[in-house]
Amino acid sequence: MSVRPFTIAPDAAREKLIKQRMADYQWPVDMQLGADENPWVYGMDQQFLQEFCRYVVADYQWQSTIDELHRFSHFTAEIDGLNIHFIHEDGSGDNPQALLMTHGWPGSVYEFNEVIDRLAHPENYGGKAENGLTVICPSLPGYGFSDAPPRPLGQVTTAAMWNKLMVEVLGFDTYIAQGGDWGSVVTGLLGLHHGVDEGPDIGKGCKAIHMNMYGLRGEGVPENEEEQKWAADSQAVMEAESAYLQLQMTKPQTLIYAMNESPVGVAAWILEKFYSWSDLPLSHGRPDLLKRYSMHALASNLMIYLMTDSFMSAIWFYRGFAEELPHIPPGEKITVPVGVGKFNDTYLGFPPRRLMESSFNIVHWAEFDDAGHFAAMENPAQFADAVLDFTTAL
């Protein structure tokens, strides 16, 4: 399981093809809505999507994203037959702790582009060098620069691969895991199955976890009024937001044929989630995606899927979830220290703390008011502070 340097490659021909398909797209007739109606209520706003595609075709350059990501060192390692890509940034200080950060869907390692340096070198942002972390950010199997598996695999399998990456490949005896979206599920499983008090190598493995989404679930049952309200609100959100999830968990291959040659379709599928799940500032009384993200950042995340042709293998991860069904079994608990960063996640937000404590050894709980589901991209400073507050408290 040797580690090899990795360079993100330009591909002028593929970039040109993607832009040409966007330019040639035959747009449907747009809805005629009143001035006071928000088109995002119906899904993707066609006017925004057209503006975004014009930006990609005329202004965006894949090389600019490569240059951004290459501020950090990239590597691959073969784990269980797959070449797994990861970013590795050594932290400041004499003995930095190792931090493994896992992204989700429809994100990528680009989510962490503006937080890696903040976490590895906090002295550059008014913090202390001694609190710096050695940051490892892998691309999930089938995502971006990691190999696609031959068939869907899920979060239990990925957690085992990540533990091999950290302990066997990179040689860390212990590490802290962090994640949101799918990353929160993988992170929870690292604490559950690969904690320092688990497995054959007692004393080696994941020593603490930090989550910014409620992913892995235990047996907590809502009891009081606050918890019952959270459960009812969460069910309502799932009914409104989970159609994509049901499709990707059950029949991912059907969606693929609609998306395979349509970068506009992939853009709509992904950007709509960034709009719906982010904590967006208002502009003229409506949530405004561009008040939170630049066009370049949105395009960079999207193009990682398009330039690597990984939209299909990425959504296999949902089918992998349906087949592996990760959860905390009744009577069991994640015993390593758990930190919660509770942001304004309108999709899968955390329940009240008591509801989680039967399944998680929560030692640190902090709430934040200026970022949502994609916290590391939405507010890098706040996200980095949330993680560093936890890791320094340990």
d(CA 91, CA 93): 7
pLDDT digits (tens, 9 = 90+) for 192-249: 999 997 656 678 999 999 999 999 998 878 889 898 999 999 999 999 999 999 999 9
Secondary structure (DSSP) of 347-394: SS----HHHHTTTEEEEEEEE-SS--TTHHHH-HHHHHHHHHHHHHH-
Q: What is the pLDDT of residue 36?
A: 87
The pTM of the full predicted model, rounded to 2 decimals, is: 0.96
DSSP letter assigned to residue 29: P
Q: What is the pLDDT of residue 297?
A: 98
C-alpha distances out from residue 394 to 59, 119, 388, Å:
45, 15, 10
Q: What is the pLDDT of residue 201?
A: 65
Q: What is the pLDDT of residue 1?
A: 61
Q: What is the pLDDT of residue 197?
A: 75
Q: What is the pLDDT of residue 182?
A: 98
The CATH number assigned to the domain with range 73-224+329-393 reads 3.40.50.1820
Q: What is the pLDDT of residue 56?
A: 98
- Tokens linked to 253: 């291959």
Q: How many CA atoms lie within 13 A of 45 on its CB side?
A: 19
Q: What is the mean pLDDT of each run of 10 residues along the chain (394 residues)?
A: 92 98 95 89 96 98 98 98 98 95 98 98 97 98 98 97 97 97 98 83 89 90 88 91 94 92 96 97 93 98 98 97 95 95 92 92 95 97 97 93
DSSP letter assigned to residue 266: H
d(CA 164, CA 207): 14
Per DSSP, which regions of 186-333 are E strands? Answer: 205-211, 282-283, 286-287
pLDDT digits (tens, 9 = 90+) for 261-276: 899 999 999 999 999 9
Could you give the residue range(s) of every CATH 3.40.50.1820 domain in the chain? Answer: 73-224+329-393
Q: What is the pLDDT of residue 203?
A: 81
User: Nearest to residue 311, comparing CAs of 92, 18, 13?
Assistant: 18
